[in-house]
Each structure stands twice: as structure tokens, then as C-alpha cells.
Structure 1
Amino acid sequence: MLQRIITFFERYSFGVCTYLGDRFNVSIAKIRLFFIYSSFLAVGFPLIFYFFAGIVLDIRNYVKRTRTRLTDL
């Protein structure tokens, strides 16, 4: 049951932790723990950053897909 929940969140999350981990060569688990612990300490501010970064990454991926479709023509 726990594995199904973890798989659900990994599949439908924004991929912010993965992007930051690849970008800065840091373990994804450490970044996730940072967001969890800092959200308790900073009363949710890191969650606002996480959602904002997810929206930016989603728009960025959308623009990349649109550019490749236009160049395929």
C-alpha cells in the first residue's frame, strides 16, 4: 500500500526535486527531506516555492515540446 502511494506521488508530481537533484548533483532524497523539514520550520513557505517551481518547469517543458513540433514541420 505504501509503495502504491509513493509511486502515485512520483508519477504525478512536478519533478522539482528530480530537476534540482540533477542540476546540483545532490541526492533526490536529501532534497525531498529538505522540503519536508523546512516546510515545518518555515510554516509552508517552501511548499509555495515548490509549487511555483513546478509550474515554471511545466511551462518550460510545454515550450520545449512546442518548439520541437514547429521545427519538425
Structure 2
Amino acid sequence: MKRITDYIEKQSFGVCSTLGDRLGFSTSSVRLSFVYASFFTFGSPIVLYFALAFWMNVRRAMRRQRSTVWDL
């Protein structure tokens, strides 16, 4: 079961796993907090989730474009 959820998370956006790694929480607890917060606030954390996913994809694209610090 864990392999399936890890695969889906990596193929989708990886927001929860990245947040969990950076903050020192487990990925499943971050996922559960997003789900619970979405229920209690009528879906507003979903907007935050997609904004974070967009930002992470922009950062990945920027890293791929520039090979060194001196490339502007």
C-alpha cells in the first residue's frame, strides 16, 4: 500500500512529501492534515496545495534551465 501511495504522490506533484521532508514530519501526517483542513475549511487548502505544486514545478524548470550560477 505504501508503494502505491508513494508512486501516486511522486507522479502527481510531490507537495506533501516535499513539505514532510523539509518540516521533519511524515508524509502521511501532512497528507492527513491537508485532507482534514480541506473538510473543515471547505476546500481552501486545495488552493494552497496547487499553488505549492505550481511553485515547485517552476523551481524544477529553473534548475533545469540554468546549469551554473553564472548563467543568467
TM-score range, shorter chain: 0.7 to 0.9
Deviation for aligned residue 1:22: 0.9
Match of 1:13 in 2: 12
2:56 matched to 1:61? no
Deviation for aligned residue 1:6: 3.8
Q: Cα 1:22–1:68, aligned 2, differ >3 Å: closer, same or farther? A: same
Aligned residue-pair number: 70
Query: How much identity, in percent, do the aligned residues show?
Result: 37
Q: Aligned equivalents of 1:20 and 1:26: distance in 2?
A: 8
Structure ranking higher in helix proportion: 1
Q: If the length of structure 1 is used for normalisation, what is the TM-score?
A: 0.79
Of structures 1 and 2, the one with the larger relative CO (CA 8 A, separation 6+) is 1
RMSD over aligned Cα, in angstroms? 2.3
Q: If the length of structure 2 is used for normalisation, what is the TM-score?
A: 0.80
AA aligned opposite 1:38: A
